[in-house]
């Protein structure tokens, strides 16, 4: 069973496609963001350690992330790494305890990401997520589930999205180059429907 890494900027649609890959191919889903939140909520020793860094506004160090990921890796089952590794140091650390077989880079341009994220709205009461283009509420500005007010997150405002996109592309460039040089990188056009992106990745996995 293969181990797969998904890379791509926020708004590229990794989450939706990752969920379907997990369902249809039986991957263990390793999302370091979700795992960190879980460790913090359960107040584990690792969670307490991570919380300290986050409270000081610092990044959780690579060694902490790596030991958390290591607990989840299973030699018998393929792993889908989502939002990890973020740096070349993390990529090299990962290879000390497991191999990476395939890396998928979700290619999408800045304007498409701005279009997608700036049309996103969140219910201020229950947190339900809408998209004014692809998944609008029945009544404009109101949550279908609870009637709460729909708001735009600060992170989804166009100027903030442009900044996040630029930061991602700059920070991920060394990682992308690293996987490219190892012959593991596959670029997949992500300016298509989640179904088309899924089919393109499924084809690579079956090859």
- State the maximum Cα–Cα separation within the chain, in Å, rounded to a whole number: 52
**153 is a catalytic site residue:** yes
Selected catalytic residue, list 23, 37, 70, 153: 153
- Respond yes or no: is residue 164 known to be catalytic: yes
Judged by CB under 5 A, which of 87, 119, 125, 180 binds Zn ion? 125
Q: What mask of x and - would describe binding to Zn ion in positions 95 to 124, judged by CB under 5 A?
A: ----------------------------x-
The question of whether 116 is a catalytic residue gets the answer no
**Contact stretch for Zn ion (CB under 5 A) within 27-35, 95-103, 104-112, 137-145:** 137-145
Closest approach of Zn ion to the CB of residue 194, in Å: 23
Stretch that binds Zn ion, among 40-48, 62-70, 106-114, 141-149 (CB under 5 A): 141-149
List 79, 94, 113, 143, residue binding Zn ion (CB under 5 A): 143
List 128, 160, 184, 202, residue binding Zn ion (CB under 5 A): 128
Residues acting as catalytic residues: 14, 86, 120, 153, 164
Residues in touch with Zn ion (CB under 5 A):
123, 125-126, 128, 143, 145-146, 148
């Amino acid at each position: 069973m293969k181990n797969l890494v998904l890379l791509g900027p926020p708004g590229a649609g990794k989450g939706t496609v990752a969920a379907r890959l997990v369902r249809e191919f039986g991957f263990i889903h390793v999302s370091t963001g979700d795992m960190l939140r879980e460790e913090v909520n359960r107040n584990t020793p690792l969670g307490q350690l991570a919380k300290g860094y986050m409270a000081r506004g610092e990044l959780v160090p690579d060694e902490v992330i790596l030991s958390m990921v290591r607990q989840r890796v299973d030699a018998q089952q393929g792993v889908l790494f989502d939002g990890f590794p973020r740096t070349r140091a993390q990529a090299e650390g990962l290879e000390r305890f497991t191999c990476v077989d395939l890396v998928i880079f979700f290619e999408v341009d800045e304007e498409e990401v701005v279009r997608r994220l700036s049309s996103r709205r969140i219910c201020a009461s229950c947190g339900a997520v809408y998209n004014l283009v692809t998944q609008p509420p029945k009544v404009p500005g109101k949550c279908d589930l609870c009637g709460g007010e729909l708001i735009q997150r600060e992170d989804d405002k166009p100027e903030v999205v442009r900044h996040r996109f630029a930061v991602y592309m700059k920070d991920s460039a060394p990682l992308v180059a690293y996987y490219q040089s190892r012959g593991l990188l596959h670029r997949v056009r992500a300016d298509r429907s989640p179904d088309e992106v899924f089919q393109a990745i499924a084809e690579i996995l079956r090859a």
